[in-house]
Structure 1
Amino acid sequence: MERYGGSDTEGDNTPLLHRGHEDKVTRDFQCVVTEPVRAPACCSSRYGLALLSSLGFFVVYSLRVNLSVAMVDMLNNTHQSSTNHSSSVCPAHANPARPKHNHTARVYDWDSETQGWILGSFFYGYILTQIPGGYLSGRYGPKWLLGFGILVSVVFTLLTPVAADLGASYLIAVRVLEGVGEGVTFPSMYNMWAAWAPPLERSRLLTITYIGAQLGTVVALPLSGEICFYLDWTYVFYIFGAVGLVWFVLWSFLVFDSPNTHPRISEQERLYITNSLKNELSTSASHIPWRAIVSSRALWAIVVAHFSYNWTFYTLLTLLPTYMNDVLGFSIQQNGLLSALPYVGCAVFAVLSGQLADYLRETCLYRTATVRKSFSVVGMIGPAVFLVAVGYTGCNYTLAVTFLTISSALGGISASGFNINHLDIAPSYAGILLGITNTFGTIPGMVGPVIARALTKQNTIDEWQTVFYIAAAINLFGAAFYTLFGRGTVQPWAVHASYSHGD
């Protein structure tokens, strides 16, 4: 890594509001920035927001991934066995007897192509509300847009069993509408943190928030398997939907759009947050520099990285339970637990990377751009290498699960790379930027499962190797592009309004 102090025409070597450098003059705008007095983290409103938003993303991802496990149990196994050469490529594991009462739910004769469309349908709705979510949450406030977005997703999750009984097309429609609701969540949350996160606490606060997504995956996958085993697949959607309703009540009463509108925040914390951000946020909420945004190389670097990383992430998210069942021969009960293991590692590495990234920027004086690029490279190339390795483990169950776990764990490091970079380059428009990048990042979720299932009709190991190679190649390209064009400082177009009066 390159330490702070070298020349850089982009100004990336200037840590924002660095502690210990009072009255620091930034080169980009010759503006004096005095360090605000830090407010304690313990029992603070900003860390309370981080925990509650983490629970929100726990709900979001549990609703998103539960179908991946339930799908295994929703299919007519007799029909599946007749359409494939065997129930799995590798010898099946010894499975405990399932309780007889869990066979009350209907099963369906969906072929692999239909399964791919069902698993990918969520993202067709998800992509529609990314940019509108960023714009509307910035204009009207993120709290209620995010809250109602998740509530919509919860309602359609509860309707999933009814839709499945009506037919695959109805289930696809319900999943699309569920995606429409969830599409506003990430852009809204970025706008929330643009008003709440002091610059040198961004990595910590955002990784706490987004670890909820990993934990939602970690809990939902094995728990869905257990629910299918002891009850039936319909309860997967009822139970997680109920958790979502509880979260919405908590969010409604405990969260506020900004420190200035929070009735219970301490004055010290309010001043700490607002003073930290006063030289980064645009004073004009009505003017959005669309031309500068869409032509920004810093933004397109994030777009490419986001798209590339998500190809691998969504491939595993939607198809890992299928791979565990059709290739490795794990039962529904074993499937959920083993499918969750990779995301345990991802959650741990995401939190650790957030702490390390802020430490390197604040204490060791590494440039923001250097930190973001380094974490992105490790978090994208590492997963690519181990994902390819999975295809060569054959029926070595231990090695396959180990490599999948390492691949996803290393992916967690990118949480402190390109994932947070929106707030570095344009905090005022972070929600809009996230909407743009997540729009492109959603495309892999739409087409990835369809392409993967089209390539794995016979569920052979060779077919799955092709799927893994494609994902790894896209990841490598994204890492290289972001390394070349990524930036770490607030871009001039993002703060122009703040310095338009004689500065």
Structure 2
Amino acid sequence: MESHGSDTECEEQQQKPLLHRGPKDNIQRAPACCSARYSLALLSSLGFIVVYALRVNLSVAMVDMLNTTHQVQVNHSSSLCPAHPSPARPKHNHTASVYNWDSRTQGWILGSFFYGYILTQIPGGYLAGRFGPKWLMGLGILGTVIFTLLTPLAAELGAGYLIAVRILEGIGEGVTYPAMYSMWAAWAPPLERSRLLTISYIGSQIGTVVSLPLSAEICFYLDWTYVFYIFGAVGLFWFVLWAFLAFDSPNTHPWISEQERVYIMGSLKKELSPLGRHIPWRAIVTSCPLLAIVVAHFSYNWTFYTLLTLLPTYLNDILGFSIQQNGLLSAVPYLGCALLAVVSGQLADYLRETCRYPTVMVRKSFTLVGMIGPAVFLVAAGYTGCNYTLALTFLTISSSLGGVSASGFNINHLDIAPSYAGILLGITNTFATIPGMVGPVIARSLTVNNTIEEWQTVFYIAAAINIFGATFYSILGRGNVQAWAVSYTPQD
């Protein structure tokens, strides 16, 4: 598709960046401290902490939900490497039921969430743009909370019921990212996008970092059912905060300062389409820059979801870590990812703001580092054998470098079509959900005997897909607003 402007030079908005415009433009930057836009970033970040806590808690709980006697009989050994000493568990936590699910059933249970998640990506983007993102985001997470609270009952009824509940959870969570992208299209000034969005979406990493070890401690001292009850209660608390403190746009916010409102709306007026009711679907689905994001997003998520759902299993089955040790060690890689995501967001906006590098160069560079780096260290982790320190070091570096991509392809939707960012995110996230659906199933099918060679195959597949996605994006990715996103005719 023909683009609006040139990617070989600083884009039009960066030829005269917002911070360097003259008095005649009548736009003054509003302070960040105590501002409505940064408050929204923190509140939405808390929301994504909840979202990922509800998503990943099953990965740890699964280790404790299985009948270990049955597992030993099936796999002939509890772990490939020598087990690590762990304190004795309190006796009162043996009341929860355990189940005789084989590795294939485990894969289906862990991947079932994404079968619901994929269904509401594109509808989520459309509904957020049509009716407003606030309540769509809030009610989506509330639905996930309700089904999380029902998870222990579903597991007791059988694997099929648990799979059904996880699918329903995915349907609720599926609208969250498109809704939030739609909200940021109305809230994020162009030269603050990387900062605001990394603060907002770092909640997904923090949620993982917090929920993995906390889930393990809950399993250790109570039992696995409390994992779902406690995180469900936290989700209910967040929904109350969101209902009273979040607003669809600066124009509907009752407490925003006039300076900040003018600053945000003035900086976005040349990027947002005035004809929001018409959606240029043909131009969207034939856009090469969007295709580049789709491929990169799919590829990145293959590695991300492989580790997210199966790292606790790998630590238990291969490296021999107990449930209590497992949660903490599973969280370490995502802590590094969160830290690098924040740092990369600051650096990306600095590079764009100073006009030293065009947006497209920043996005491609950060994507290459954030995808090829994780691929290299993921493969290396498969060759560490029972060297626990080296294995965890490589897995941590792999996940940490993935955080750099947060300022690469992940924000690119807002660069190429801010008016339709929610819809674009829904499209890319639809394809990017497929790895979550099939990745755990394929990985568990390939690791029936839990040998290091089997896991090496899993890591090789993920790395190859990552490298392909990074290469594809580096060729077709763009960093400027596309023509169809700012002007079009009804014939489009």
**Could you say which TM-score interval applies, normalised by the shorter chain?**
over 0.9
| Alignment match, 1:168 | 159
Measured in 1, the distance between the counterparts of 2:299 and 2:477 equals 14
How far apart are 1:364 and its partner, in Å? Answer: 4.7
| Alignment match, 2:367 | 376
CA distance change for structure 1 residues 98 and 43 in 2, over 3 Å: closer, same or farther?
A: same
| Alignment match, 1:294 | 285
| Alignment match, 1:5 | none
Which residue, out of 322, 343, 355, partners 2:346? Answer: 355
How far apart are 1:285 and its partner, in Å? Answer: 1.2
User: Which amino acid in 1 is paired with 2:425?
Assistant: L
Question: How do residues 137-156 of structure 1 correspond to structure 2 at under 5 angstroms?
Answer: 137-156=128-147
User: Which amino acid in 2 is paired with 1:358?
Assistant: D
Secondary structure (helix, strand or coil) at the match of 2:409 reads coil
Secondary structure (helix, strand or coil) at the match of 2:81 reads coil
Measured in 2, the distance between the counterparts of 1:11 and 1:266 equals 37
Question: How do residues 86-101 of structure 1 correspond to structure 2 at under 5 angstroms?
Answer: 86-101=77-92
Question: How do residues 14-413 of structure 1 correspond to structure 2 at under 5 angstroms?
Answer: 14=11, 16=13, 18-19=17-18, 21-22=20-21, 34=25, 36-413=27-404
CA deviations on 1:443-498 (whole Å, 9 max, x unpaired) are 0000000000000000000000000000000000000000000000000000005x
User: Which amino acid in 1 is paired with 2:392?
Assistant: V
Q: CA RMSD in A?
A: 1.3
CA distance change for structure 1 residues 368 and 178 in 2, over 3 Å: closer, same or farther?
A: same
Unaligned stretches of 5+ residues in structure 1:
1-7, 25-32
The range that moved more, 184-193 or 356-365, is 356-365
Asked if the contact 1:424–1:490 (Cα under 8 Å) also holds between the matched residues in 2, the reply is yes
Asked if the contact 2:209–2:335 (Cα under 8 Å) also holds between the matched residues in 1, the reply is yes
Secondary structure (helix, strand or coil) at the match of 1:419 reads helix
User: Which amino acid in 2 is paired with 1:448?
Assistant: G
Which residue, out of 473, 476, 480, partners 1:482? Answer: 473
Asked if the contact 2:6–2:480 (Cα under 8 Å) also holds between the matched residues in 1, the reply is no
Any runs of at least 4 consecutive aligned residues in structure 1 with deviations exceeding 4 A, and if so which? Answer: 8-12
CA deviations on 1:89-133 (whole Å, 9 max, x unpaired) are 000011110000000000000000000000000000000000000
Measured in 1, the distance between the counterparts of 2:28 and 2:8 equals 25
User: Which amino acid in 2 is paired with 1:14?
Assistant: E
CA deviations on 1:335-381 (whole Å, 9 max, x unpaired) are 00000000000000000000000000002521000000000000000
User: Which amino acid in 1 is paired with 2:263?
Assistant: Y
User: Which amino acid in 2 is paired with 1:314?
Assistant: Y
CA deviations on 1:177-202 (whole Å, 9 max, x unpaired) are 00000000000000000000000000
CA deviations on 1:253-290 (whole Å, 9 max, x unpaired) are 00100000001000000000000000000001110000
Measured in 2, the distance between the counterparts of 1:85 and 1:41 equals 58
User: Which amino acid in 2 is paired with 1:301?
Assistant: A
Measured in 2, the distance between the counterparts of 1:244 and 1:192 equals 20
Which residue, out of 454, 458, 462, partners 1:467? Answer: 458
| Alignment match, 2:10 | 13
| Alignment match, 1:442 | 433
Tell me the TM-score normalized by structure 2. Answer: 0.97
Measured in 2, the distance between the counterparts of 1:12 and 1:290 equals 28
Measured in 1, the distance between the counterparts of 2:207 and 2:85 equals 28
Asked if the contact 1:318–1:449 (Cα under 8 Å) also holds between the matched residues in 2, the reply is yes
How far apart are 1:14 and its partner, in Å? Answer: 1.4
How far apart are 1:15 and its partner, in Å? Answer: 5.7
Measured in 1, the distance between the counterparts of 2:356 and 2:27 equals 18
User: Which amino acid in 2 is paired with 1:16?
Assistant: Q
Secondary structure (helix, strand or coil) at the match of 2:410 reads coil
| Alignment match, 2:416 | 425
How far apart are 1:298 and its partner, in Å? Answer: 0.4
User: Which amino acid in 2 is paired with 1:58?
Assistant: I
- What percentage of aligned pairs have identical amino acids? 79
Asked if the contact 1:260–1:270 (Cα under 8 Å) also holds between the matched residues in 2, the reply is yes
User: Which amino acid in 1 is paired with 2:101?
Assistant: W
User: Which amino acid in 2 is paired with 1:22?
Assistant: R
Indicate yes or no: 2:452 matched with 1:453: no
Measured in 1, the distance between the counterparts of 2:327 and 2:284 equals 41
Asked if the contact 1:305–1:482 (Cα under 8 Å) also holds between the matched residues in 2, the reply is yes
Count of residue correspondences:
483
CA distance change for structure 1 residues 249 and 390 in 2, over 3 Å: closer, same or farther?
A: same
Measured in 1, the distance between the counterparts of 2:389 and 2:456 equals 18
CA deviations on 1:390-409 (whole Å, 9 max, x unpaired) are 00000000000000000000
Measured in 2, the distance between the counterparts of 1:38 and 1:22 equals 10
Indicate yes or no: 2:486 matched with 1:495: yes
CA deviations on 1:274-313 (whole Å, 9 max, x unpaired) are 0000000000111000000000000000000000000000
Unaligned stretches of 5+ residues in structure 2:
none
Asked if the contact 1:15–1:361 (Cα under 8 Å) also holds between the matched residues in 2, the reply is no
Measured in 1, the distance between the counterparts of 2:260 and 2:20 equals 20
Asked if the contact 2:195–2:349 (Cα under 8 Å) also holds between the matched residues in 1, the reply is yes
Measured in 1, the distance between the counterparts of 2:112 and 2:28 equals 48
Measured in 1, the distance between the counterparts of 2:284 and 2:26 equals 29
Secondary structure (helix, strand or coil) at the match of 1:420 reads helix
